[in-house]
Amino acid sequence: MEPPRYVVDLLAVRHPELRIRWNGSICRWELWRGDPIFRGSSYLVKVWEYEEDHSYKPLDNRLFHWLYEADLVRKFGGRDARVVARLLQAEIADHNEKSDVANKKQLDDDYGFARDEMEYAIRRDMNIGSPVPRVTRKKHGPARRKVRTAHLEV
């Protein structure tokens, strides 16, 4: 039996070390860390079934909710939800601050590039003879500087 494709794809993105496998002898989905075929290098994380009566539980998004809660417990221990909320807020604020710094740097680079381009265009159109550094960029590479000159004809 094959797990739903969207579950496999989401699991590969969010938790690439985990695998879903159908256990035909107990008719349940099993969540494994590592490769379930090579049991020496892997271990069973969870048998996916209802906790109350251990009956069959279909594989759906509840798996990701359970993984999220398990990650919180593993990361923050058995702490109170309010403490965890404050820690998560601090972690999110730190991440946002780092993102803001990276975005500001990118905007500054883009502004500098646009300013250089505009200066070059003005000098070229006005036929000013001094050399102007021209910045060109590769599609996904760092900026390169080329020196171009405009010559006055007398």
Per-residue pLDDT tens for 54-66?
888 888 888 888 8
Number of domains in the chain: 2
Average confidence (pLDDT) over 32-60: 78
Q: Which of 16, 43, 76 is the last residue of a domain?
A: 76
Asked if residue 99 and residue 72 are part of one domain, the reply reads no
Backbone torsions φ then ψ of 72, nearest 5 degrees = -65, -45
Q: Which of 33, 48, 76 is the last residue of a domain?
A: 76
- pLDDT tens profile 81-93: 677 778 888 888 8
Asked if residue 67 and residue 16 are part of one domain, the reply reads yes
Q: Which of 30, 60, 76 is the last residue of a domain?
A: 76
Asked if residue 55 and residue 14 are part of one domain, the reply reads yes
Considering the domain boundaries, does residue 139 fall inside one? yes
- Which is more confidently placed, 49 or 142? 49
Q: What residue numbers bound the domain in which 113 lies?
A: 81-148
pTM over 0.85: no
Helix segments in 1-154, DSSP class H: 5-14, 62-76, 81-126
What percent of the chain clears pLDDT 90, i.e. is strictly above it? Answer: 0
Average confidence (pLDDT) over 119-135: 69
Asked if residue 85 and residue 68 are part of one domain, the reply reads no
DSSP state of 102: H
- Give residue 152's pLDDT: 44
Considering the domain boundaries, does residue 31 fall inside one? yes
Asked if residue 63 and residue 86 are part of one domain, the reply reads no
- Give residue 132's pLDDT: 52
Asked if residue 104 and residue 46 are part of one domain, the reply reads no
Considering the domain boundaries, does residue 154 fall inside one? no
118-121-125-130 Cα dihedral, nearest 10 degrees: 100
